[in-house]
Chain A
Amino acid sequence: GQQVMQIPQYQHVQEGEDFTTYCNSSTTLSNIQWYKQRPGGHPVFLIQLVKSGEVKKQKRLTFQFGEAKKNSSLHITATQTTDVGTYFCRNEKLTFGTGTRLTIIP
């Protein structure tokens, strides 16, 4: 079946440092979505990317869809403690990625 891998699995950063998680699909995607799950919470939708090479920004978050539509990335600039959580990508088959858990050192 379709696999959606994310790297890294874990990331510990000092507050104020940048963070990036990468999402890689074994097949070409029609769209990709990103979700954030806070510790003890449920996943919350962040954004959807549809076009090849698309870049979208939400304040300190930058989302990118690869030219070949098989990978995507989420970059957070100057992390804050509120960014703590696990970030998942999701393909159009409703398959979630393996997730990247972000922890922040104050």
Chain B
Amino acid sequence: SAVISQKPSRDICQRGTSLTIQCQVDSQVTMMFWYRQQPGQSLTLIATANQGSEATYESGFVIDKFPISRPNLTFSTLTVSNMSPEDSSIYLCSVSSGASGIRRYEQYFGPGTRLTVT
């Protein structure tokens, strides 16, 4: 299994500002994902972070709002831009050892970043 760390663990931000969340994995992984989870709710996939190319966004999520970087196989960042209170949520980094396009491998999750926008 992979050990995943996220920074920051939590933050309180003002509306209109941006926050960048970092995800670090202790080993090289093929696939990295970013999820959002509101308290008491399920997980919603934001995007797949692709190494060396633009992230693949799910319906309802756009690059201008959630720019993602993945400079190598162990690190990724998610930025929440121009935040509003509706962005208050837990943001989770996830990795899988499965090859690209083969989504039948288990996922491992980071501890999450709890974001509150005031």
- Kindly list chain B residues whose C-beta atoms are within 8 Å of the C-beta of A93: 103
List, in ascending order, chain A residues with CB within 8 A of B42's CB. 88, 96-99
Instruction: Flag whether B12 is at the interface (Cβ < 8 A).
Output: no
Interface size class of B (residues with CB under 8 A): 10 to 19
**Chain A interface: which size bin?**
20 to 34
Q: Residue-by-residue, is A29-46 near B (CB-CB < 8 Å gives 1, otherwise 0)?
A: 011010100000111110
The residue of chain B having its C-beta at the shortest distance from the C-beta of A41 within the complex is B111
Contact of B109 among A31, A33, A43, A95 (CB under 8 A): A43
Which residues from 79 to 110 on chain B have a C-beta closer than 8 Å to any C-beta of chain A? Answer: 92, 103-104, 106-110
A30 and B107 form a contact (CB under 8 A):
no
> Given A94-B45, A95-B45, does the pair A31, B111 have CB atoms closer than 8 Å?
no
When distances are taken between beta carbons in the complex, the residues of chain B under 8 Å from A96 are: 42-44
The answer to whether A92 touches B92, judged by C-beta atoms less than 8 angstroms apart, is: no
Shortest CB-to-CB span from A95 to chain B, Å, is: 7
Confirm or deny: B33 has a beta carbon within 8 angstroms of a beta carbon on chain A: yes
A20 at the interface (CB under 8 A from B): no
| Chain A residues, CB < 8 A from B40 | 101
11 further A-B pairs in the complex, CB-CB below 8 A; given A43-B43, A95-B45, A99-B41: A30-B104, A33-B107, A42-B92, A42-B109, A43-B109, A48-B104, A88-B42, A88-B43, A90-B107, A96-B43, A97-B42
